[in-house]
Structure 1
Amino acid sequence: MELAEWTRIFNKKAKNLKHSWNLKFDENIVPDKPNPGWKQYIRNTSARFDCSMCSREWPSNWVKVVFHMRLAHRQGGTVKVRALRQNCKNCDDAPMEDPTITPENISILMENLVEKIRIKCYNQNLGKKSRPFRSFDVNSPHEPDHCEACMKGICTRN
């Protein structure tokens, strides 16, 4: 995943928040177990995957992105991001691969994230619904045995 692209889009979407916020990837955050004082938001999106062993490519509309956020008023806010991975169903012992998410879907994720920050960290009642992601045409079923989110029990498709 390209941190610069995510950060650029996040900064653009978060510019009207009361505090400065920073975004960072963190492979160590655990879904459904935010650290004390942190709030969680989990969102589904579409992405593409490439197997580093056989070069097989596949799309998925069931990619979970986990956000943990905290506002420390003097320091501003921090958002930790982790996109859950998938592995190739054709390769034995295939490594988990990071998703490639389109800039359009990153933008939608960031828009929804900033809305959640306003609700969860600033207690604003926005009364809005999350904007849906742009899905891919997927010709094969979701594979729970190859989905990190399913393995962690947070994928609603399992």
Structure 2
Amino acid sequence: MEESTWKNIFENELEDQGINHVWSLCVDEHLKAQQGYLQYTQCTFARFHCSHCSRWWNSAQVHILFLIKSDRRSRGGAVKMRIFKQECRRCNVSILQKPEITHENMKRVISNLVSKIQSMTYGQNNKNPPLNPIIYSNDVEGPHEKKHCEACKLKVCPWNIEHGEKIMVANPQPAKLHPWASSGVQQQDKRSSFATYTSIPSSPSRAVHELPHDTVVTFVIIIFIIFFLLLISNTKQ
């Protein structure tokens, strides 16, 4: 039921933002980074209910991963998404609980997703900033302790980036853009992808220690003059 809600919101947002090509959306609870996909992440607000102790808690750090892949022929594409879970911090039983996200926050997440598709696939930049989630409660606990956050355990949680920890992504590859996307957007895609580009220094050239020819000649002449003067001095003595 929840997946169908995400799909309906996605289809409506595509229409609202003027994308007439066919795009699909699926929810995958085991989704991981894949080659050839643009990786896009968001955080939203949600609440959780522990199935073991019946405790409720709120979090504004509910991590969502999207993998976006466009189709050159149809000019449409496919999106896969994963909503990461959290564990109850009061229970000794490690059970990952699904978040309950309000319809309004679902719409905001999808609106940001479609804007990303517009920018990265069709070269149409949205001048409006991404929509922030609505925080429905001041009592926000969040997933960190990291040991209770599924995204942290898999080292894909954006909280780790903010606190200086390294994010490991298996085989990161920036997505290939359609030929109709502008070159400026292509450069933006390279900067915003998960891939890390390392500058590899070239092999050092051999140092040349030989002196220039003129310098060698001058040096020999000076030595000869000094030797000649010493020889004359010894002769007079």
For 1:42-85, what per-residue CA distance to the aligned partner results, in whole angstroms no more than 9, with x for missing partners? 00100111111111111101101111111113453111110010
- Residue matched to 1:137: 138
TM-score normalised by L of structure 1: 0.88
- Residue matched to 1:25: 27
1:51 counterpart = 2:50: yes
Matches of 1:140 and 1:121, distance apart in 2: 36
Deviation of 1:139 after TM superposition, in Å, equals 4.8
CA spacing shift, 1:17–1:145, aligned 2, 3 Å:
same
Write the mapping of 1:1-158 to structure 2, written as runs, cut at 5 A: 2-15=2-15, 16-30=18-32, 33=33, 35-75=34-74, 76-135=76-135, 136-140=137-141, 142-158=144-160
CA spacing shift, 1:145–1:123, aligned 2, 3 Å:
same
- The structure where strand makes up a greater share of residues is 1
Matches of 1:11 and 1:148, distance apart in 2: 28
Matches of 1:12 and 1:82, distance apart in 2: 20
For 1:65-111, what per-residue CA distance to the aligned partner results, in whole angstroms no more than 9, with x for missing partners? 11111111345311111001001111113211111100000000010
Matches of 2:78 and 2:23, distance apart in 1: 6
| Unaligned runs of at least 5 residues, structure 2 | 161-237
105-114 vs 71-80, which deviates more?
71-80
* Equivalent residue letter for 1:58: W
* Equivalent residue letter for 1:25: V
- The structure where helix makes up a greater share of residues is 2
Matches of 1:13 and 1:123, distance apart in 2: 17
Aligned residues of 1:47 and 1:60 also touching (Cα < 8 A): yes
| Unaligned runs of at least 5 residues, structure 1 | none
Structure showing greater Rg? 2
Question: Would you say how many aligned residue pairs link Structure 1 and Structure 2?
Answer: 155
Aligned residues of 2:40 and 2:65 also touching (Cα < 8 A): yes
Aligned residues of 1:61 and 1:138 also touching (Cα < 8 A): no
Q: Find runs of 4+ consecutive structure 1 residues off by over 6 angstroms.
A: none
Identity between Structure 1 and Structure 2 (%): 37
TM-align CA RMSD: 1.8
TM-score normalised by L of structure 2: 0.61
Q: Secondary structure at the match of 1:121?
A: helix
Matches of 1:118 and 1:139, distance apart in 2: 33
CA spacing shift, 1:125–1:2, aligned 2, 3 Å:
same
CA spacing shift, 1:63–1:140, aligned 2, 3 Å:
closer
CA spacing shift, 1:151–1:61, aligned 2, 3 Å:
same
